[in-house]
Chain A
Amino acid sequence: MNSNETPPADPAKELSAECPAPPASADPAASALKTSRRDFLKAGGMLSLSSLMGTGALMAQSEDAHAAAEWAEHFQKNYRLMTPEEKNEARLRLERRHSQEYGKQVTVDITDAQPGMLMGYALNIRKCIGCRRCVHACVAENNQSRGSKPGEKIEWIQVLRMERGEFAKDKMNHGYPEGLGIQVGGNAYTPAGQVLEGQYHYQPEAVPEKDATYMPIACMQCEKPPCVKVCPVRTTYREADGPVVIDYNWCIGCRMCMGACPYWARRINLTSPVLPKEEMNPVTHYLGNRPRMRGVVEKCHWCLQRTRHNRYPACVEVCPVGARKFGNLLDPESEVSKILERKNVFRLKAELNTFPKFFYFYD
């Protein structure tokens, strides 16, 4: 700041503080005023005082819950370091803010992981028909952005359509390595078998198609999540009952986790999320589906707002073929435990040692 000029403080505050300096002029010649060091310091003090008063006013006012919550959120700790009282304060703040914003009673749950619970997920890969009902159920539940402009539509589940390759007779002896006589049905140059990469944007008249298999992917809730390792602000972490969650308030939007995730599970809110009032799900969890802001990363959290209260995740409930299964891995009677006991199970990219809690199976 130039010491020759009056500090640009609030004019109203300035007058009440009996500032001796005359009002500044736009004319550079006239603006060369003689101000003493004392005057300058006095004015500076007034400026900081007025800004503090403004802060106080902003924190005290209760009509605009949005502004008050946003202001208080700047001073709130990482969710894992908050005391129960602070968590409760944050909850009340968010409930007030979102209730006002969306015009209905919004609840923000802060239920912690319960002992004796380790969530697990299983998906019958043979049964999936690729209808994408899970994708849209997830959007209906989890308050994702659903605009039409690029980057405004966020879906957490992806359904991959894979072509069924054919093992043509004339290619059968193109095996590799040839010298050893091992036939693997084609090599890198003349492949025989499944060659098309996964398709995300398939839109046939009806599914399932004869020549395709479908593979839904979402967050695998790894036990050793690469996304958690790379997070520079430690805002994403694994909860004791399984899911990997994000404290959206501490996310800086650096997208390191998106690069680290080997399952393409994370999404970023590049724009301000578009969430119509009537479509907003008012039952939310702090670490789950509460409305997100611009510039934060989000992903599947196994519907924490439901599963912490023993309800099935939304995608499990709508799967028309019953391919999706969810349960407590510590309970030998749960459906996921039974699947692990009885069926042929694999985990996606198991060689990466991420130890997902999401199992694919077939019967």
Chain B
Amino acid sequence: MKKLAIYTVILAFCGSAFYAVSAAEQAAAPAEPAKQEAAKEPPVCFESRKGASEVTQREIKPGWPNVKCSPTTGAALWYGDPYEGTVPMGKMPGLEKIPEGHALIKPRSEKLALMPMCGTACHNGVGPQFNPPKLPKDKRPTPIPTMGAMVPDLANFQHGRGRIWCLDCHHTTKRNMLVDHFGDPVSFDQPQLLCGKCHGDKLRDWRDGIHGKRIGEFVSSGKKRWFTCTECHNPHNVQDGERNRGFVQLQPEPSPQLPKGMKDAKHEKLHPIPH
């Protein structure tokens, strides 16, 4: 009798084990297409501010992604390869000491949707009104509806508080370039050459690594990726009134774990002394 009971138990155990295995297989089957879907679209995370530079997550070597994105906010959280998609910065006064190829930037031109068109489609110097090409007589901005529709930032243009206009920064005849003090064109990838015209103190701090951000090797002669002005600041509305201290607001990452037994963090909002 006892033996029979033991056999029954063993049989029942084997049966349940078999059932568990088959159930697990069934559960795994529908999960696979979902995984493939996720694999199709790798996460793209923004680096400094939304709307500026972005990175697409991919695996460089097994178990080593180029970047880790935040599941909550979609921000870049960790760099496996800090130099991805970079090109040499080009000539920059004051940075002659840096060895060749150790100052890198990520080109902005690819991210600017209007860039390839603006110099050819509209501001090409030919057209019914501009033939022969004529430039504005004064520097008083005239609103152009087509332009305003394409660049929404212009509706809320704040830079300079009304004291500067488009052609103080954009080149008069080469609209896919910026302009320096001498009227020479400056690439969109090197906005520091333009911004430094007025913000000299910030340019000096940026050159020394105090202002702005650099990633890569920290030693002063090391290979670094430099974040240029427009990767962090939107030049058209840098003084947005909705902001706090000049920064665009963004969603914060999740808060730390509450201590055991604590339901919420309301105690943090109580003033120790009522007033």
Contact = CB atoms under 8 A, between A and B. Distances in A.
A303 to B, nearest CB: 10
A38 interface: no
A338 B79 contact: no
Q: Interface residues of A: mostly helix, strand, loop or mixed?
A: loop
Contact of A191 (B64, B205, B275): B275
A153 interface: yes
Interface in B225-275: 227, 232, 244-245, 247, 249-261, 265, 268-269, 271-273, 275
A212 to B, nearest CB: 8
B273 A328 contact: no
Contact of A200 (B214, B255, B273): B255
B77 interface: yes
B82 interface: yes
B255 A331 contact: no
A202 B269 CA distance: 9
A198 to B, nearest CB: 8
A312 B217 CA distance: 6
24 contacts: A129-B244, A132-B252, A132-B255, A135-B253, A136-B70, A140-B77, A150-B259, A151-B260, A195-B273, A196-B272, A201-B255, A206-B249, A207-B252, A317-B78, A318-B76, A321-B48, A322-B213, A322-B232, A325-B210, A327-B220, A328-B219, A331-B219, A334-B220, A343-B210
B153 interface: no
Given A195-B275, A338-B210, A140 B257 contact: no
Interface in A322-346: 322, 325-328, 331, 333-335, 338-339, 342-343
Given A195-B273, A203-B255, A335-B208, A310 B218 contact: yes
Interface string A291-318: 0000000000000000100111010111
A109 interface: no
Query: Which 9 residue pairs of A and B lie closest in terms of their CB atoms, listed nearest first?
Result: A335-B209, A201-B265, A322-B213, A150-B260, A206-B249, A132-B253, A140-B78, A104-B63, A199-B268
Given A141-B78, A150-B259, A207-B252, A312 B218 contact: yes
B43 interface: no
Interface in B24-75: 47-49, 62-64, 68, 70, 75
Nearest to A324: B213
A44 interface: no
A105 B211 CA distance: 38
Contacts of A328: 218-220
Contacts of A327: 209, 218-220
Q: Is the interface of B mostly helix, strand, loop or mixed?
A: loop
Interface string A96-109: 00000000110000
A75 interface: no
B216 A321 contact: no
A166 to B, nearest CB: 11
B151 interface: no
B247 A321 contact: yes
A126 interface: yes
A3 to B, nearest CB: 38
B122 to A, nearest CB: 34
B196 interface: no
B165 to A, nearest CB: 28
Contacts of B97: 333
Interface in A203-225: 203-210
A282 B268 CA distance: 37
Contact of B251 (A197, A205, A209, A282): A205
